Chains A and B, each alone.
Chain A
Amino acid sequence: MCLAIPGKLLELTIENGLKMGTIDVNGSKTRACLEYVPDIKVGQYTIVHAGFALKIIDEEEAAESLKLWQELIESGAFQPDEELPSAESL
C-alpha cells in the first residue's frame, strides 16, 4: 500500500492556514502538506505520501545502518546486531 517517496524540502509556505512545502524528488518538485512534520527545516528529507509529509528521515540512523551494511560487504561476514528490547525469547 502506500507509495511514499523521500524528497528534500526546498521551501516553506502557508496556504489556507496550512503549513505547506515544496519537495524536490530528483529534480521534479511536488507540493506537500507539512502539518505533521512541523519541525522540518529546509534541506531536510521527508517521506511524502498522497501530498503529505509523514516523517522526517532520520539521517543519522540511515547513515549508521548503511555503514553497518557496508561493513558487512567488506568483512564478508555478517555482524549480528544487538537484540532490541522488544524481541523476546519464546
Chain B
Amino acid sequence: MMRALIQSDLMKVKKMVWVMMIAFPAGLVGLQAVNYSLRLDHLLGLHDDYWYFLLENVHIFWPTILVLTLTLIISLFASVEHETHTWTKLFSLPVNNGKIYLSKLAIILTVLIVSSVLFVIFSMILGLSLGFGSDLPLMAASQMSLYTFIAVLPFVFIQFWLSMGFTNQGIALTTGIANAVFIMYAVDMPTWLPWRWPLLLEGITTIAPDIFYGLGTGVVLTVISLIHLTRKDVTA
C-alpha cells in the first residue's frame, strides 16, 4: 500500500522539485568555483589542508540553502493538493491517513538526501578540477553532508507541518526564509537553539551534541506534527 501511495505521489511531483534537487547543490558549489577561480592563491594560503578548507567553504551556505530547498520542496508538495482541492479525495482513499503524509515525507526526505549526496559529489568534482589531488576526502565530505542533513531535520518537520496544515503557503514560506536567514546569523547564539545546529561549529566532521539534538528534536516534531495533521478535519 505504501508503495502504491509513493508511486502515486511521485507522479504528482512538480518538475521544479527535481530541478532544485540538482540545481541548488550545483549552484552552491558553482559559486565556490567562481570564488576559488577569482582568488585561488589567497584562498590556498589560508589553510594547509586544501581539501578540508574547500569543504568548509562549500559548507558555509549549505545549511541555509538546504533549509530554503526543503521549505520550497515541501511547499510545492503541499500546494499540489491545496490548489487542486484534492485533500478530501486523498483522505477518502482506503488508507490510513498517517500513511498519506508518510508517503509524502518519505519522498521529501529522499529528495533531500539525494541533494546532499549530489552536494558531496559536486564538491569532489570541484576539488579535483582545482587540482587538489585524487586523495578524495570522501569520508569527511560525507560526514559534513550527513551531519548537516540530520541537524536540519527539525526544520523539515516545522515546514511539513506549516505547509500541509495551512492552505496559505505564505506563512510556511516566510517562516522557512526566516529560518534560513537566521541560520546565517546563529553563530553567536546559545547552543540549545536549533538554528545553530546545522552550522557544525564544532567542526564539519565532528560528531557534536548538536547533531543529536537535531535528530531528537526532528523525531519528536515528526511525531507531534503527524499526530496533529492526521487528527485534523479535512475540509478542502
A, B assembled together: no
* Residues of chain A having any CB pair with chain B under 8 Å: none
